[in-house]
Each structure stands twice: as C-alpha cells, then as structure tokens.
C-alpha cells in the first residue's frame, strides 16, 4: 500500500464526526492492507511506531520540525510560527505550503522503515542529522503525505480514537459488524500489542485471534477493581472473601524469563510502558526467585526504615526516572509486594481461581526470602464487622484503604468488575472516593490568575462504549500558584485549535484553549449531582452527571487517559451516594 493511500484514509477519518463512520473507514483501510501493513497502520493510526512497552523515540524537537518546514517552504521560521498559530499544528502548515521537488510515492512500509531509522540516529550532531533526514523524506512527498509524517514525528496525529476503535474496526473487517469485538479485545488484553492483533487478524483471521496466548515480554492488560461505599455492601456482594491492604505506590507487572543464559527481568507499568531500566535494584532481587518463567503483579512502594512507614505516593513516584538512577536507588529504596500470579513456569494462571493463584505464591515464598520482594498480606473475611475492623487498622497505619477479592474468581485482564472491590479512606465531603479525570481544556484567568494565563480548567471522564471523553466538572480551586503555572505548561504542550473529536462538551462550557485528552488528574468533590450542562452519562432520558465543589488533588502520571474513571463507574458512585444518604 502506498503511503498516499493511507493519507487519503486519514483525511477522510478526520472529516467524519461519526464514530461508526470512523470505524467503517478504518475497517476498509485494514481490508486493503497486507498483514504487515495492517500492523504498521495500527501503530500509525495512534501516532506511534510500536506498542507502548517498546521504547522508540524520535527525539525530534518541535523546533527542529519547524526548521524543516521553513527550509522546505523557503520561508522564515517566524512565518511558520505565525501559520502554526492559525492552523494549530505543523502538519497542516506543511500541507498548505508549496515546494519544488520530484514527487515520490513510497509505501507504508518504506515510510515506517524511514521513521525507525530516525529513532536509531543518535550521538553527537544527531539533531542536525535528523533534520536532514526528515527534510530529505518530506520534500519528495505529496503535501498530505508530508502532513501525516510530520504529525507522527511531532506527536500531533490525534485522529480522535483509541485502540478500542481499532478493535471495533478489525471486527468490522472480519465479519462486517462489531460482534467479534469480545474475541479481539480478549486477545488484546492477553497480548497488549495492537499492531500484532491487526497482523494476526489479517493473516490468520478469527481462528488466529482466538488462539492467541500469553507471551513473556508482552504485557497483559491489568485487571481493575470496582468500588462500593461500605464494608457491609462489599460482604453482601461477595460473601466469604479475602482482603489485602491497599498500598499507595505504583503497580508493576513483572515478567521473569530464565530460559536463556542470562535471565531477563522486565517491569511494566499499569499503562504498559517498559520501566525495566529504572529499577536495577529490583532486577537483581527478582533474579533470585526460583522459577523458569513467571508473570506476577505487585505494588512497588518506598519504605522508610527510619520511621518504619511507607512514604507517600508523591515520594514513591520519584523512583520513576530515566537519569540519576543510582543515586535515587539509595535515597528511595523500593519494596515490592506481590499480590497476584498470572503465568508460572510455562502455564497461564488467568483461568485459575484466586485461591489457587495465591496458594502457588505462598508455596513459592515459603522457600524464598527477600528484604525487597514480599507477598502481600491476605486475611479471610466472613462478616462486615471483620472487614470494617481490618480497614480501620490499615487506615490507622497510614494506608489509603483495602482491596477485597472473591476467592474463586479468575483473573480477567483489561476488565474492571466486582471480583475485586476497593474500599478507601473517607475524606471531607460525602463522596467516598476520588475521581480520576482527564483534562480537556482551560479558561484564561482573571485578576491574579491573569498573569498565569489560566484560571480554571475543564475535566471529563471516559465513556468506554463510545470511546469518547465526556465533561464532568470545571475546576478552579485546589491549586497553588506554582501548580497553576505547571498546569499551563503541561497544557501548552498538547493544546489544539479545535475541540478534539473524541470530546463531548456543551457549547456553553467550551474552554478558551482545548487540549488533547492525555493528562489524568485526581479530583475530590463533595458529591456527584445531576447536571443539565455536563455530558457525562447524559442520555435522552437522563441529565448528565457533574462533580459538586470539585478540587484538584494532583496528577496521575501512572495512568493513561483511557484508564481514567469511566462513565459506568461514575454512575455507580452516584447510586452509592443515594444508599449512604438513606
């Protein structure tokens, strides 16, 4: 397939506002592609070259792209900046320009190879080399092809959908509707590489998709917990259950492969990024576990031996860095508390009960002792009073709550359900839990905040069924002066000219500046209310949901926007409030 054909499809997708039409166009695109092309197209459609667990970075600054376009169009950089301000992204600036060069029409795979080569260019003078490589590439392309190359390079492709829309499109390609979404999503949950899913779907069809299995080194999409407001509600829901402390660290999926001469230990975050290089101390510790292959999950948290307490999430998250690792290892030593087993010595444990998975972990840890790796505590629960007492004990120890689990449940990757239920510390206000919201845009400030350039911001929650973000609150409190400045800086890096297609927002709420829905933040509110203006959960028969007196509590860098609180969760929290008020 020629890259110009891909650019044509991307143009059409940008022009349609309907999710169904987007999905059908994507399915037609996949239909015309070979298996290898389908793999690359799936990455390109999300503005990537690879799945999130493979680190491929262009390291090609926006100012370098600006220089390329200025040279190509034979105009000043100031002219390019002016056009950028009116058009919104450098790809559009390029597409509306004119230049003299012999046109070429490379294939999708040729462009992919060129961009891979760009990622591999490094060392002294690499920015100048990359600038020349990009200029040589785009000057021979048609304007629309060049537009999408530049957008991929600068991280501004943003066609308005996520990996879930690609899953739907592959189902349309295979059977002409969304009926096989379940099989495709399960394969993706077990093997979280959207390009590989597209490749197998094209090459081997549904049989190949249904035969996909766990592969060491490819992360499994994590399971997630639901919420209920009280210990009584949880025990009524689950019956006999088990409870674990809820540690306020960051979740890791650990892959161990000792079938080669040198053991391979990999750590993946909850949003599937590879963090292995950040934790040399953990690599050394996990090399000692007596297994051939294993995938397990744990919570990594910094323990302060001087106080005998765990430190806050804000301190623990400092361990997630790319530079100065040796120093931070000694300053903030991590402990990992293992809480689940997904794969063990060549066998999947996803379909085994939690009781069986836990028994295997206990057996493993009975012969393995470590100051760094520990098996998390688990306590059986029969009555609500037991759970309430255990919960209060954990709060008294400074933890944020507990996670309660169904002993006979299977591990369901990529799913949020009542197999796991979290119960968290209640803070001021009647809303029991915080909400993970996605920042959608901001409003320019007045008075003192005019100097910051931002005085409030708009947030939304994720509607998984529609693959869109729906507004839930306008926030103007809970932040210090330096935090407003930081927010503006974060937003400026991802601002867009028009409302993103995957955002649903009433016109009365339109912010002064839209941003791409990428930043996840933690929001506390007094309660959830019905709203005539907010879009979250709105239908023909129901008003939307909104947060009353929302307050900014911090960022969630460990979560992607699609992992934010969902509309379904918000509805459930709204119903829980009614129970509590009775």
Residues 6+ apart with CB under 8 A from 234: 228, 241, 384, 387, 404, 421, 423
Percent of the chain, pLDDT > 90?
65
- Please compute, for residue 402, the number of CA atoms within 13 A of its CA located in the half-sphere on the CB side: 28
pLDDT tens readout for residues 411-453: 999 998 999 999 987 643 456 578 999 999 999 877 667 778 8
Residues 6+ apart with CB under 8 A from 308: none
In the block, residue with structure tokens 């020629």: 2
Overall pTM surpassing 0.75 (yes/no): yes
Residues 6+ apart with CB under 8 A from 152: 44, 47, 49, 115
Q: How many CB atoms lie within 10 A of CB 36?
A: 16
Instruction: Supply the pLDDT for residue 313.
Output: 77
Mean pLDDT over the full length of the chain: 90
Q: How far apart are the C-alpha atoms of 577 and 430, rounded to whole Å?
A: 8
Query: Do residues 567 and 471 make contact, with C-beta atoms less than 8 angstroms apart?
Result: no
pLDDT tens readout for residues 182-223: 999 999 999 999 999 999 999 999 999 999 999 999 999 999
What one-character DSSP code corresponds to residue 419? Answer: E
Q: How far apart are the C-alpha atoms of 515 and 494, rounded to whole Å?
A: 5
Query: Do residues 441 and 458 make contact, with C-beta atoms less than 8 angstroms apart?
Result: yes
pLDDT tens readout for residues 20-50: 999 999 999 999 999 999 999 999 999 999 9
Q: How far apart are the C-alpha atoms of 279 and 557, rounded to whole Å?
A: 17
pLDDT tens readout for residues 118-140: 888 877 777 788 889 999 999 99
Query: Do residues 256 and 301 make contact, with C-beta atoms less than 8 angstroms apart?
Result: no
Instruction: Supply the pLDDT for residue 429.
Output: 42
pLDDT above 90 for 174:
yes
Q: How far apart are the C-alpha atoms of 582 and 577, rounded to whole Å?
A: 9
| Burial of 412: CB neighbours in 10 Å, binned 0-12, 13-18, 19+ | middle
Q: What domains are defined for the chain?
A: 224-424 (3.30.470.30), 435-581 (2.40.50.140)
Q: How confident is the model at residue 479 (pLDDT cuts 50, 70, 90)?
A: confident
pLDDT tens readout for residues 487-516: 999 998 888 888 998 999 999 999 999 999
Cross-strand partners of 474: 458
Give the catalytic positions in this structure.
246
Backbone angles phi, psi at 164, to 5 degrees: -65, -30
SS3 string, 269-333, reads ECCCCECHHHCHHHHHHHCCCCCCEEEEEEEEEEEECCCCEECCHHHHHHHCCCCCHHHHHHHCC
Per-position DSSP letters for 340-390, written without gaps between them: EEEEETTEE-TTS-HHHHHHHHHHHHHT---SSEEEPP-EEE-SHHHHHHH
In the block, residue with structure tokens 């998250």: 317
pLDDT tens readout for residues 212-267: 999 999 999 999 999 888 899 999 999 999 999 999 888 999 999 999 888 999 99
Cα separations in angstroms, 195 against 10, 35, 52, 179, 200: 17, 10, 11, 20, 9
Q: How many CB atoms lie within 10 A of CB 61?
A: 14
Cross-strand partners of 271: none
Q: How far apart are the C-alpha atoms of 210 and 195, rounded to whole Å?
A: 16
Q: How far apart are the C-alpha atoms of 378 and 403, rounded to whole Å?
A: 10
Q: How far apart are the C-alpha atoms of 516 and 539, rounded to whole Å?
A: 24
Q: How far apart are the C-alpha atoms of 405 and 379, rounded to whole Å?
A: 10
Per-position DSSP letters for 430-496, written without gaps between them: S--S-EEEEEEEEE---GGGGGTT-SEEEEEEEETTTTEEEEEEEE--S--HHHHHHHHHHHHTTEE
- Please compute, for residue 17, the number of CA atoms within 13 A of its CA located in the half-sphere on the CB side: 4
The three-state secondary structure class of 17 is coil
Instruction: Supply the pLDDT for residue 427.
Output: 44
User: Picking from 210-219, 305-314, 332-341, which range would have the lowest pLDDT averaged per residue?
Assistant: 305-314
The three-state secondary structure class of 576 is helix
| Burial of 499: CB neighbours in 10 Å, binned 0-12, 13-18, 19+ | middle
Taking alpha carbons only, the member of 94, 52, 5 closest to residue 273 is: 52
């Amino acid at each position: 397939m020629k890259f110009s054909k891909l650019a044509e499809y991307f143009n059409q997708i940008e022009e349609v506002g309907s999710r169904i039409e987007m999905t059908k166009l994507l399915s037609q695109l996949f239909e015309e592609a070979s298996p290898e092309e389908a793999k690359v197209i799936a990455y390109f459609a999300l503005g990537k070259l690879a799945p999130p667990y493979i680190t491929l970075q262009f390291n090609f600054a926006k100012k370098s792209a600006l220089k390329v376009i200025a040279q190509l169009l034979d105009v000043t950089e100031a002219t390019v900046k002016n056009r950028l301000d009116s058009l919104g992204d450098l790809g559009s600036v390029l597409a509306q320009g004119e230049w003299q060069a012999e046109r070429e029409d490379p294939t999708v795979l040729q462009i992919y190879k060129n961009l891979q080569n760009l990622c591999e260019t490094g060392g002294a003078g690499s920015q100048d080399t990359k600038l020349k490589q990009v200029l040589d590439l785009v000057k021979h392309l048609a304007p629309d092809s060049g537009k999408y190359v530049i957008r991929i390079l600068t991280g501004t492709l943003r066609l308005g959908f996520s990996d879930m829309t690609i899953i739907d499109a592959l189902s349309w390609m295979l059977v002409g509707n969304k009926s096989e979404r379940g099989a495709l999503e399960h394969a993706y949950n077990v093997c979280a590489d959207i390009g590989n899913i597209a490749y197998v779907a094209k090459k081997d069809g549904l049989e190949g998709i249904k035969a996909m299995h766990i592969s060491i080194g490819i992360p499994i999409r994590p399971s997630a917990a639901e919420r209920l407001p009280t210990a009584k509600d949880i025990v009524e829901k689950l019956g006999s259950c088990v409870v674990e402390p809820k540690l306020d660290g960051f979740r890791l999926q650990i892959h161990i492969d000792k079938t080669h001469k040198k053991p391979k230990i990999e750590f993946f975050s909850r949003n599937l990024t590879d963090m292995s290089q950040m934790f040399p101390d953990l690599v050394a510790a996990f090399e000692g576990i007596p297994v051939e292959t294993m995938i397990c999950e744990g919570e990594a948290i910094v323990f302060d031996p001087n106080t005998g307490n765990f430190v806050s999430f804000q301190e623990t998250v400092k361990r997630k860095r790319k530079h100065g690792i040796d120093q931070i290892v000694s300053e903030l030593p991590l402990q990992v508390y293992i809480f689940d087993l997904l794969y063990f010595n060549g066998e999947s444990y996803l379909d085994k009960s939690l009781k069986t998975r836990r028994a295997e972990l206990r057996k493993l840890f009975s012969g393995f002792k470590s100051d760094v790796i520990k098996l998390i505590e688990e306590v059986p629960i029969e009555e609500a009073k037991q759970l309430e007492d255990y919960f209060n004990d954990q709060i008294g120890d400074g933890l944020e709550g507990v996670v309660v689990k169904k002993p006979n449940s299977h591990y369901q990757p990529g799913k949020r359900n009542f197999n796991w239920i979290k119960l968290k510390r209640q803070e001021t206000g009647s809303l029991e839990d915080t909400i993970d919201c996605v920042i959608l845009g901001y409003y320019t400030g007045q008075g003192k905040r005019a100097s910051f350039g931002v005085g409030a911001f708009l947030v939304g929650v994720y509607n998984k069924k529609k693959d869109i973000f729906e507004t839930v609150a306008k926030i103007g409190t809970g932040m210090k002066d330096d935090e407003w400045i930081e927010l503006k800086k974060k937003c400026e890096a991802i601002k867009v000219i028009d409302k993103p297609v995957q955002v649903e927002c009433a016109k009365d709420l339109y912010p002064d500046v839209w941003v791409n829905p990428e930043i996840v933040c933690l929001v506390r509110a007094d309660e959830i209310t019905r709203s005539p203006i907010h879009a979250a959960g709105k239908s023909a028969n129901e008003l939307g949901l909104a947060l009353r007196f929302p307050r900014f509590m911090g960022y969630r860098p460990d979560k992607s926007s699609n992992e934010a609180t969902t509309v379904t969760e918000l509805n459930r929290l709204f119903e829980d409030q009614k129970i509590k008020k009775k």
